[in-house]
Amino acid sequence: MSRGNVAVFIPHNGCPHQCSFCDQRRITGRQKQPSPEEVWELAQKAASQQDVSRCELAFFGGSFTAIDREYFGSLLQVAKRAREELGFAGVRCSTRPDAIDRERLMLLKEHGFTTIELGAQCMNDAVLLQNGRDHTVQDVENSSILVKEFGFSLGLQMMTGLPGATEEIDRNTAAAFVAINPDFVRIYPTLVLPGTQLEAWFLEGSYHPQKLCKAVELCSDLLLLFQNAGIPVIRLGLHDTPELKEQVVAGPYHPAFRQLCESRIFLKGILAELAESGQKGEGEILIAVHPSSFSTALGQKKTNMEALRQRGYAVRFLQDPEILPGKWEIRAAINERRKSPC
């Protein structure tokens, strides 16, 4: 299992599509296509600075398997050398579900690739069509099967709050992902970026982005769903950069979006357990959490503590290294101890 990525961004190149939400060049923050020599230098530099035997060289930012064939071939060579000469644990790429076939998977396999991420975005054909994705749900299912058949680690990416999508559609997408059983997922709440079709729809008033609180409510449920299914969510929200923060036109942007969702999971879980135990009004309630989860459990600006107090619970959070990160234990003044469910 790899511990990290050495990321190479391949901006938009090779992509003949224009999805409603995408300005890939802006997301990657670069417009120039890195040459194979530059990628090799980057890999060498990384190998000289860190132990890459648990890292993957990662090609992000575009439709990797659909880029110009010659350029694709040259990057495959670099990937192979990175594994054989520098000792990288693996290589990953992200691509479109309809840019996967046996021939391309065989090439990736032969050049040391280990992980493939598919930009599925939504498991609803009408939403995919409305947003210019030019692939279908069936493409996602077929390519996922192929990626697994070839023995790659499979990642699936989804977006919430796309034009045409309802909360139910987003929840169904997550459920469809669970049925596919990928090795990991990424969840991106839809943000409006400049120069996109989405921006035009937003400005003309035909697209209403999700409010931050709605996005947090939905994504916290999705996060829990994947956690309970044993599927890691390796990213929740676009990678925050100063440029992204400046550019976002509208949408549920927050630099610590994932933490907001994790805090929400704490609040909902604790509230459900307290309601079940009927402890309201029985004195101070202690909620023990792992030190690494303390600020998340409290909520940003102690919003969780405040929400619990407003509902009549006199709570105090405390740190206990024996509690698992992400879990809690409710300790009532009457010395009854209840463990949080897993």
The site for ligand SF4 (CB under 6 A) is made up of 12, 15, 17-19, 22, 24, 62-63, 96, 119
Q: What's the closest the beta carbon of residue 188 comes to ligand SF4, in angstroms?
A: 10
Give the nearer residue to ligand SF4 in terms of CB position, either 71 or 294. Answer: 71
Percent helix / strand / coil, the chain, rounded to 5 = 45, 20, 35
Q: What's the closest the beta carbon of residue 10 comes to ligand SF4, in angstroms?
A: 9
Give the nearer residue to ligand SF4 in terms of CB position, either 19 or 91. Answer: 19
Token look-up 């030019």 returns: 134
d(CA 62, CA 76): 15
Six-digit token pair at 342?
A: 């897993």
How far does the chain reach from its first CA to its final CA, in angstroms? 24
Q: What's the closest the beta carbon of residue 255 comes to ligand SF4, in angstroms?
A: 22
d(CA 218, CA 212): 10
Q: What's the closest the beta carbon of residue 18 comes to ligand SF4, in angstroms?
A: 5
Give the nearer residue to ligand SF4 in terms of CB position, either 105 or 162. Answer: 162
d(CA 179, CA 140): 12
Give the nearer residue to ligand SF4 in terms of CB position, either 195 or 325. Answer: 195
Q: What's the closest the beta carbon of residue 24 comes to ligand SF4, in angstroms?
A: 4
User: Sheet harboring 328-332: ordered strands across?
Assistant: 315-319, 285-289, 328-332, 337-339
d(CA 98, CA 331): 52
Give the nearer residue to ligand SF4 in terms of CB position, either 96 or 264. Answer: 96
Q: What's the closest the beta carbon of residue 201 comes to ligand SF4, in angstroms?
A: 16
d(CA 239, CA 254): 10
Give the nearer residue to ligand SF4 in terms of CB position, either 66 or 219. Answer: 66
